[in-house]
Every structure is written in structure tokens, then in C-alpha cells.
Amino acid sequence: MSQEPDVNSHSPVSSRLPQHQTSHRPSREEAEAAVRTLIQWAGDDPDREGLVGTPDRVVRSYEEFFAGYDLDPVEMLQRTFEETDGYDEMVILRDIRLESHCEHHMVPIIGKAHVAYLPDRRVVGISKLARVVEVFSKRLQIQEKLTAQIANTINEVLQPKGVAVIIEAAHQCMTTRGIHKPGVTMVTSRMLGVFRDHPPTRKEFMSLVQGQHGSGLSNA
């Protein structure tokens, strides 16, 4: 949980948007044709009644699933507030619903994220924290990278005293195929600044995340 490299040497904020996203983007027709191919590959007839509109629906679903490529999380966090009457305790957003897709199998990752930061004068609207989780989730991901991207971005833009992110999620590539282990969730975390260097702060965060509903996370 505390083995990550120093955040201060992390890549700059500008690297948050994939560089390749505008080059060679196929047309909608090409995307629909690819879905037809997959239907045929699965062994069905894409021209039968029930499937004839499926390529269109799948492509539109993809627009939702992967909407995060067109959004800039850095911009989302730019508007901050300094009139906080000296508020200097941690801010936690708990149980943020998380829906992503595994980049190895392109199947859902479903879970929740807990995001906290310790402000250094500036605070941000809480809905913006949830939006940052959403933007990075709506890309092809692995959970480790998703966790780090959320924490690093908040850290670099808000420059707080610390950031903590925990994600607990089930991966359908594990629950519905492969080794078929339903009920297994993966837990990842990234602790930066005081959450990393000051164990009592991390402990306070962990106990607040567990709250009364006991998420089963350890205090390690």
C-alpha cells in the first residue's frame, strides 16, 4: 500500500489525455461493421430480426462506456474555492459508484471508489471528485492504473497536503469467465502526501471509509 514511487516525480498533468485519441478514429459505420463481425464470430446471424439493430446499439453503448476519452479531468478540477473559514481537515467522498471496462477483456469492472484529500487552502466541489472518478473509469482500464490516475490528478491539480484513493471492484473477466470466481473483489489504493507519510492520518481515513457500514477493508 505504500510502495509507490514518489508522486512528486510523476509525469505531468498534460499526459492525462491519451495522445492517440484523434488519429485514425474509425467511422461509426466501420465500428458497426466490426460488431457484425463479432456477432458472426460468436456463431449467430447479424441479419436476423433480433440482431439487426444490435451493431447500432452496441456502438451507442460504447459512446457511453468510453465517454471519458473526450473529457479532461484536469479542467474539471480547475475551479476551486478558498473561502473555507480555515477548514483544514480531510474531505472524504465515500462509496462512489464505479463502472469501468477492463482493457484486457473489454468487460465490466464494477465497484466503488473512496476518495479523500487534505486541503491546503483550496477546496473543490465534491461532485468534481466524483466526476474525476467517472472520467477515468470511462476508458479502458486496469484497476491499478485507474486508482493511480485519480489520485495523481487530484494531487497535481489541487496540490493538497495529501490524497487517498481506494477502489474495491469486481472484474467480470474473473467472475463470468476464466477462473470463474464470483464474489471476489480487488482492492487497490494510492496514498500520497500526508496519507502516505503520516500513519495516523491514513488510519483516520481508513476508519472513516469503513464508517458504520464496515466495508471489510483492513487498517494496514
- Please identify which of the residues 102, 114, 156, 168 carries the catalytic annotation: 102
- 169 CB-contact burial (10 Å; exposed 0-12 / middle 13-18 / buried 19+): buried
The conformational region for residue 52 under phi > 0 = left, psi -120 to 50 = alpha, else beta, is: alpha
Among 25, 48, 104, 181, binds Zn ion (CB under 5 A): 104
d(CA 159, CA 167): 21
Catalytic annotation present for 10: no
Question: Closer CB to Zn ion, residue 97 or residue 104?
Answer: 104
Catalytic annotation present for 105: yes
Catalytic annotation present for 20: no
Catalytic annotation present for 3: no
> Binding to Zn ion by residue 181, rule CB under 5 A?
no
Catalytic annotation present for 141: no
Secondary element (H or E) of residue 166: strand 162-171
Catalytic annotation present for 102: yes
Closest CA to 100 of 113, 85, 114: 113
d(CA 132, CA 144): 16
- Please identify which of the residues 4, 105, 159, 204 carries the catalytic annotation: 105
Among 31, 67, 173, 217, binds Zn ion (CB under 5 A): 173
> Binding to Zn ion by residue 102, rule CB under 5 A?
yes
In whole angstroms, the minimum distance from the beta carbon of 134 to Zn ion comes to 20
> Binding to Zn ion by residue 145, rule CB under 5 A?
no
Indicate the Cα dihedral angle 67, 72, 78, 84, nearest 10°: 40
Q: Which residues are part of the catalytic machinery? A: 102-105, 143, 171, 173
Residues forming contacts to Zn ion in the complex (CB under 5 A) are: 102, 104-105, 173
